[in-house]
Amino acid sequence: MHRGAGQARLRPWTRKRGVLSRAMAALGAYRCIECNREAAELYRDYQRGVLRISICKSCQKPVDKYIEYDPVIILINAVLCKAQAYRHILFNTKINIHGKLCIFCLLCEAYLRWLQLQDSSQNVDPDDLIRYAKEWDFYRMFGIASLEQTSFLLGIFITLWWMRPEMLKTKSDFILLLKALLLSSYGKLLLIPAVIWEHDYTPLCLVFIKVFVLISNSQAIRVTLNLNRMLPWLAIIFGLILENGVVCLFQKMGWDV
């Protein structure tokens, strides 16, 4: 297919989007991935599997070139934190895995903390009571990770609402930003491989994973609200301060976090 103006046959996975695309178009939910302007449609279907990608009236570029890309290419571009890939995923597709992804990421983080707690423990008694206590430790770590994640997100929302209240006027604005933040935290899935293939550089890998997740969160905020680079980072810093405050609270209570 000639990108932007050419005609070609739809791929099977693209053809399945037809009904969803028409529904989203009726709601005016599309965005140009280049300039973030609203668009009426992503492509025009001329029947018999022939389509033509729509051109943005504002920037005169294809509204969404990624509709003809394979998902693997889109994922690679998202890993590279390209704003166009983020806009495609957030505005021009319907992905509802953010809830499950959040739970799985929290499980990964809880498992990492639980494993570090077991490594620091000198008790090797195989008694059932000891095994039960270790299992309870995992649930406790999951709860702590959940509270830390909640405080981090709360700090971001408070900062953005205080600095730019016009950006978060409706419930849908909050939901879209929450979805973007949860999806952009997919980097936490790398925690498990980093622990399984443990080596001398594992602590450094964990730091890199944390930095990558924060960069992805910043890009998600920037793309969702169409902001400059500084304000998203300011919100993330405040979120980290609130998260660390929760950690200090747990430490004062005598809990290992």
What confidence category does residue 147 fall into, taking pLDDT thresholds of 50, 70 and 90?
very high
What confidence category does residue 12 fall into, taking pLDDT thresholds of 50, 70 and 90?
very low
Q: Locate tokens 């293939």: which residue?
A: 197
Q: What is the mean pLDDT of the chain?
A: 82
How far is residue 51's CA from residue 48's CA, in Å, rounded to a whole number?
9
pLDDT in tens, 207-235: 999 999 999 999 999 999 989 889 999 99
Give the other-Cβ count within 10 Å of 203's Cβ. Answer: 9
Q: Beta 7-9 vs 50-53: how paired, if at all? A: antiparallel
**How many residues are recorded in the chain?**
257
Structure token digits, residue 171: 């419930």
How far is residue 95's CA from residue 215's CA, in Å, rounded to a whole number?
21
Q: Locate tokens 């849908």: which residue?
A: 172
Lowest mean pLDDT among 23-32, 56-65, 93-102, 239-248: 23-32
DSSP state of 62: B
44-48: long-range contacts, CB 8 A cutoff, minimum separation 24: 45/10, 45/18, 46/7
What confidence category does residue 120 fall into, taking pLDDT thresholds of 50, 70 and 90?
low
Query: By three-state DSSP, how is residue 221 classified?
Result: helix
Q: Over 80: is that where the pLDDT of 166 sits?
A: yes
Structure token digits, residue 157: 């929302």
Q: Over 90: is that where the pLDDT of 138 sits?
A: no
How far is residue 29's CA from residue 39's CA, in Å, rounded to a whole number?
8
Q: Which residues does 56 contact at the CB level (< 8 Å), separation at least 6?
A: 32, 34, 35, 37, 39, 62, 63
DSSP letters, 63-114, are S-GGGGS-HHHHHHHHHTT-HHHHHHHHHSS----HHHHHHHHHHHHHHHHH
Let me know: does 224 contact 256? Beta carbons within 8 Å.
no
Q: How far from 55 is each of 8, 14, 67, CA to CA, in Å? A: 16, 18, 13
pLDDT value of position 133: 61
Biggest CA pair distance of the chain = 71
3-7, 18-22, 92-96, 99-103: which is most confident: 99-103
